[in-house]
Amino acid sequence: MLLAKLEFPAIGELVDWKQFWLPGFNKPILLMIVSALIVVALFVAAGRKKALVPSGIQNVVESIIEFVTDGIIMQTMGEDGLVFLPYLTTLFMFILVCNLFEIIPVMQFPPMARMAMPMFLALITWVMFIFMGIKKQGPGYFKAALFPPGVPKALYVLVTPIELLSTFIVRPFSLAVRLFANELAGHLLLVTFAVLTDTLLFHNTIVFFKPVAVLPAVMDIGLTGFELLVAVLQAFIFTILTAVYLGGAMHPEH
């Protein structure tokens, strides 16, 4: 009788929202726009005072910029990579804000749990590192990538297809899937334990089972804290891998 009351929503309902007044305009699109506006607002607010000793929002934004500079760019690209500081900082903050919507009441949905946006960001990375490779090395970039120096010529039959797949095909796909899969999995877990708590507490006719609702409730709270960590970690991983790929295109010796 208890099991009959456990009616979980279909996966499609967990990753979508009813259309608004505009065709194709739904919850993920709305949250992406809001995320972009939040990031812009943070930069604008931080740049208004330009105090010598930063405080408040300026201190927060400058700390993030310093983190991206020292923890990502200098570790993967060196000083040459500072030209990408505005893009990488924006990328990190945009993904982070999008991910944080997963644990914000009412919203409770990470836009990156839809494959379209992670794939779009991954394709931007793909275009950028190929462009930088050609810019820094010329047409020889593809030859150096597909035919690594020092490898016996007989092994190129195996090495070249592997390099082609791993460098120019798998990279954007793995970037997108990693972010998408982690955010979708976290969203499904939070919804699962929330539905279980609600069912045991409010839709369960057996009084004996009502106290058991505390278990999935505690689990849901714990997962919320864990997803906060995942939100930051996934933004960092996507950004640092973008920097690694750009650095590899700029400095083939590394």
* CA pair distance 224, 230, nearest whole angstrom: 10
Residue 19 has which token pair?
């259309």
Residue 163, pLDDT above cutoff 50: yes
C-beta neighbour count of 38 within 10 angstroms? 16
Task: Quote the DSSP letter at residue 55.
Answer: -
pLDDT band at 3 (very low <50, low <70, confident <90, very high): very low
Q: Which of 95, 44, 41 is nearest to 68 (CA)?
A: 95
Residue 254, pLDDT above cutoff 50: no
For 95-151, give the DSSP string.
Answer: HHHHHHGGGSTTT---GGGSTHHHHHHHHHHHHHHHHHHHHHHTTHHHHHHHS-TTS
φ, ψ at 21 (rounded to 5°): -70, -20
Task: Quote the DSSP letter at residue 205.
Answer: S
Q: Which of 61, 132, 127 is nearest to 92 (CA)?
A: 61
pLDDT in tens, 177-233: 999 999 999 988 888 888 888 777 776 556 666 777 788 888 888 999 999 999 999
| Type of residue numbered 215 | L
Query: What CA dihedral angle connects 115, 120, 123 and 124, to 10 degrees?
Result: -150
pLDDT in tens, 217-227: 888 889 999 99
With a pLDDT cut of 70, the percent of the chain lying above it is: 85
* CA pair distance 99, 80, nearest whole angstrom: 30
Quote the distance between the C-alpha of residue 230 and its chain's center: 9
Read off the pLDDT of each residue in 87-111 and give the average, rounded to a whole number.
91
How high does pLDDT run on average in the chain? 84
* CA pair distance 182, 241, nearest whole angstrom: 16
Q: Which of 21, 44, 176 is nearest to 112 (CA)?
A: 176
Residue 68 has which token pair?
């991206």
Residue 125, pLDDT above cutoff 50: yes
Q: What's residue 245's pLDDT?
A: 92
Q: What's residue 164's pLDDT?
A: 86
Q: Is residue 98 left, alpha or beta, with left meaning phi > 0 and alpha meaning psi from -120 to 50?
A: alpha
User: Could you tell me how many residues make up the chain?
Assistant: 254
Q: What's residue 209's pLDDT?
A: 67
C-beta neighbour count of 156 within 10 angstroms? 14
